[in-house]
Structure 1
């Protein structure tokens, strides 16, 4: 196995704006990368180019020292030793579970005892060894997704590509399948690229997260690094349900703001330059000495309420709070800290 390298990768479908625009990144050998971004940002197109289903307009894809795609050559999908899990599972309905899992082996000419042993090993890895004789129609959505994972594992791929694999599952099954993906990654040792628009999935599963928007790579980092230190307003808005405030502050102010600095910045009326400050809901508190804010929305989330607040200058915040407040109430808000974008 080896690292996967994308260098200035671009794809233009002739619409006037490239679907993928000069994306460069390195996915380390055995890493688990989540491609995160809104619909239409280019993340699935990147995945399809890595798989070999789309040809790059420009740039290159390398697996170790081996060139998968560049201006001169394109290695076909069947010769890349990669496997893909689709949102729709893509299982053959007329085949049994075991036959679906063993199909990639059959295509490669593997037969006999070796074939049976590898299929059984793959089914055991996703805890479906008792379901080999069933048809996909007799399985739940989560079980079908496990069959698709087993089909990936059976060929020992270098890279596993997953295109929003949990989109069709309910919330309970999503949690169960997240555990299955972690176990699958640990067991297979394969490099994995996981496309999703759900930041909770990306943060929970991946060793690294790449945030995309408008065909461009905005930032790539470990989940905790991305959450704590987003680069730019767009990443701050996409990750962590944070609010981005425009505040007046002296040039060269620190990246981390304490409450005194935030309060001063929000109440300044001079011509100091404006900066963007990312504020997470957990850094917003209600208490004496704060700035007045109007409660605009209240959502009960079980152990807490999430409320939308509007400051006097019209800017909005979110706060997690243990007590329900009435819409329209005016409350004092303290911003305990923030991150300058």
Structure 2
């Protein structure tokens, strides 16, 4: 296995506007990278350049010491020792599960006991050994996805590429398949790159998350790091359900603020008495503490409830401050739209 290196990748389809631009990334060997971003940001184009289905307009793709592609040349997909899982599964309906999984081996001329052993081992890893003789039509959506994973694994690829493979599954099946993907990664040891626009998938699955917007890479970090310390408004807005508010700027390099620092900043901003430079601050809903109407007069920050969404175990609130800025919060108790509340903010992150 070798490290995958993307060096200043760019792709222009001749429209005059680059779909991907200046994209540089080292994918750690054996890691699970989620490529996260909104639809149309270029993440699938990056995946297709890695796979060999698209040739870069600029930059290069390397696997260890091997040059896979640059603007002048591109190694064909079948010579890259990579495997790809598509959103549509791409299984042959007339073949059995075992034949679908073993097809890449047949293409490579592998047969006999070696063929049967590899197919059996691959099906064992995704826990489908007893379904070997069934047809895809006899399987559930999650089982078909596992067949596609086994077909990837059977050739011992250096890199497994996954293009929104859970997009067609319902919520409960998604959670089940997330467990399958994590197990698959641990058992196979392959480097995996997972394209998704769903941040919950990225956070649940990946060892590293790379956030894209408008063809550019904005930040790469572990899920916990990128959630707690996003860089800039775009990443802060894409990751999590936080709100970005503008407060009076504090001098210095400190970026993590706690309640004693935040209270006077919010008080000044909401009252309209603050002046001078401003800063953007990300506030997560779990860091907004909501109090009822019985809170002592003047205590906490006044807010009005703009909307309420019941999520089963809690209520998700959208709150409007006196100056029109919005915050999000959670409450364990019923709250009505239009209610007046008092709140405090215990932590925030400067973008």
Shorter-normalised TM-score: what interval? over 0.9
2:264 aligned with 1:260, yes or no?
no
2:172 pairs with 1:172: yes
Determine if contact 2:5/2:64 at 8 Å carries over to the other structure.
Answer: yes
Q: Is 1:278 paired with 2:282?
A: yes
RMSD between aligned residues? 1.1
Aligned partner of residue 294 in structure 1, secondary structure: strand
Which stretch of structure 1 is more off in the superposition, 196-205 or 152-161? 196-205
Alpha-carbon distance in structure 2 between the residues aligned to 1:238 and 1:335: 21
Contact 2:55 2:71 in 1 (8 A): no
State the 1:259 CA deviation.
2.2
Q: State the distance in 2 between where 1:20 and 1:317 align.
A: 33
Partner Cα separation in structure 1 for residue 252 and residue 214 of structure 2: 30
SS at match of 1:26: strand
Aligned mate of 2:326, from 307, 316, 330: 316
What secondary structure does 1:296 align onto?
strand
Instruction: Say if 1:174 and 1:145 are closer, same or farther in 2 by CA, change over 3 A.
Output: same
Which is further off, 60-69 or 264-273?
264-273
The answer for the alignment partner of 2:303 in structure 1 is: 293
295 and 72 in structure 1: CA distance in 2 versus 1, 3 angstrom threshold: same
- Cα displacement string for residues 269-304 of structure 1 (whole angstroms, at most 9, x for unaligned residues): 343211000000000011342111110111111111
Shift of 1:15: 2.5
State whether residues 250 and 272 of structure 1, in contact with CA within 8 Å, keep that contact through their aligned partners in structure 2: no
Between 141-150 and 279-288, the greater mean CA deviation after superposition:
279-288
Instruction: Give secondary structure in 1 for the equivalent of 2:120.
Output: helix
Once structures 1 and 2 are overlaid, which stretch shifts more, 213-222 or 111-120?
A: 111-120
SS at match of 1:181: helix
The answer to whether the 8 A contact 1:300-1:306 is kept is: yes
Distance apart, 1:261 and its partner CA = 2.6
Runs ≥4 residues deviating over 3 A: none
Listed as ranges, the matches of 1:52-67 within 5 Å are 52-67=52-67
2:235 aligned residue: 235
2:335 to 312, 322, 325: 325
Cα pair 2:51 2:161 within 8 Å, conserved: yes
SS of 2:133 mapped into structure 1: coil
**CA shift at 1:252, angstroms?**
2.7
Question: Residue 251 of structure 1 contacts residue 273 of structure 1 at CA under 8 Å; is this kept in 2?
Answer: no
- Paired with 1:49 and 1:128, the residues of 2 have a C-alpha distance of 31
Q: How many Å apart are 1:14 and its aligned residue?
A: 2.2
User: Alpha-carbon deviation of 1:258?
Assistant: 2.0
What is the CA distance between 1:189 and its match in structure 2?
0.7
TM-score, normalised on structure 1?
0.98
Count matched residues: 341
CA–CA distance in structure 2, aligned partners of residues 28 and 249 of structure 1: 37
Q: Is the 8 A contact 2:290 2:341 kept in 1?
A: yes
Deviation at 1:253, TM superposition (A): 6.1
SS of the aligned residue for 1:175 comes to helix
Instruction: Tell me the secondary structure at the aligned position of residue 117 of structure 1.
Output: helix
Task: State the secondary structure of the residue aligned to 1:314.
Answer: coil
Aligned to 2:317: 307
Note the 1:37-186 alignment, pairs <5 A: 37-186=37-186
Secondary structure of residue in 2 paired with 1:277: strand
What secondary structure, in the 3-state scheme, does the structure 2 residue paired with 1:34 have?
strand
Q: Distance in 2 between matches of 1:60 and 1:145?
A: 31
Q: Does 1:19 align with 2:29?
A: no
TM-score by length of structure 2 reads: 0.95
